Amino acid sequence: MSQILIKQGHIIDPANNINRIGDVYIAEGKVVSVTHEPAGFKPTTVIDATHKVICPGFIDLSTRLREPGQSRKATFKSEAIAAASAGVTTMCLQPDTNPVIDTPAVAELIKELAEKADYPQIYPIAALTRKLEGTELSSMLSLKQAGCIAVGNAQQAVKNLLILRRAMEYAASHDLLVMFRPNDYWLGNNGCAHEGAVATRYGLPSIPDEAETIALAQCLELVELTGCRMHFGQLSCKRSVIKIYQAKKYGLNVSADVAIHQLHLTENDMIPFDSSYHVLPPFRNEEDRQYLRQGLASGTLNSICSDHQPHDIDAKLGAFPETEPGVSSLETLLPLMLKLVTQGEITLVQGIAALSENPARVLHLNSGALTVGYAADICVFDPELTWQVNADNWKSQGINTPFWGQEFKGRVTHTIQAGKMIYSLE
Partner 1 sequence: MTENIQLNSEGKLKHFLSIEGLNKTLLTEILDIADSFIGMNDQQIKKVPLLRGKTIVNLFFENSTRTRTTFELAAKRLSADVLSMSIATSSTSKGESLLDTIRNLEAMFVDMFVVRHAISGAAHFIAQHTAPHISVINAGDGQHAHPTQAMLDMFTIRQVKQDFSNLRVAIIGDILHSRVARSQIQALNTLGAAEVRVIAPKTLLPSHVESLGVNVSHDLTSGLKDIDVIIMLRLQKERMTSALLPSESEYFKCFGLTEAKLKIAKPDAIVMHPGPINRGVEIDSKVADGPQSVILKQVSNGIAIRMAVMAMAMQKQGAVG
Interface positions with partner 1 (CB under 8 A): 195-197, 199-206, 208, 271-273, 314, 317-322
Paired with 122 in beta bridges are 91
Query: 43: exposed, middle or buried (C-beta count within 10 Å: 0-12, 13-18, 19+)?
Result: middle
- Choose between 144 and 316: whose C-beta lies nearer to partner 1: 316
Rounded least distance, CB 161 to partner 1, Å: 21
Rounded least distance, CB 196 to partner 1, Å: 6
- Choose between 102 and 267: whose C-beta lies nearer to partner 1: 267
The enclosing H or E element of 423 equals strand 420-424
The enclosing H or E element of 240 equals helix 238-250
- Choose between 105 and 317: whose C-beta lies nearer to partner 1: 317
Rounded least distance, CB 326 to partner 1, Å: 18
Report the SS3 class of residue 348: helix
Report the SS3 class of residue 206: strand
Rounded least distance, CB 317 to partner 1, Å: 6
Distance CA 420, CA 412 (A): 16
CA distances from 280 to 150, 235, 266 (A): 21, 10, 13
- Choose between 10 and 284: whose C-beta lies nearer to partner 1: 284
Tell me which amino acid residue 115 is.
Answer: E
Paired with 194 in beta bridges are 207
Report the SS3 class of residue 248: helix
Q: Among residues 147, 135, 64, 61, which one has the least CA distance to residue 103?
A: 147
Q: Among residues 359, 295, 363, 256, which one has the least CA distance to residue 15?
A: 359
Q: Among residues 260, 424, 255, 283, which one has the least CA distance to residue 355?
A: 260
Confirm whether 307 is a catalytic residue: yes
- Choose between 198 and 223: whose C-beta lies nearer to partner 1: 198
Rounded least distance, CB 387 to partner 1, Å: 24
- Choose between 108 and 286: whose C-beta lies nearer to partner 1: 286
Distance CA 357, CA 384 (A): 23
- Choose between 28 and 314: whose C-beta lies nearer to partner 1: 314
Rounded least distance, CB 269 to partner 1, Å: 10
Rounded least distance, CB 404 to partner 1, Å: 15
> What sign for the dihedral angle of Cα 194, 99, 164, 262?
negative
Q: Check if the beta carbon of residue 413 is closer than 8 Å to that of residue 425.
A: yes
The enclosing H or E element of 355 equals helix 348-355
Q: 43: Cβ–Cβ under 8 A, 6 or more apart, which residues?
A: 3, 4, 5, 25
Query: Which one of the listed residues 96, 102, 184, 307 is annotated catalytic?
Result: 307
Catalytic residues: 307
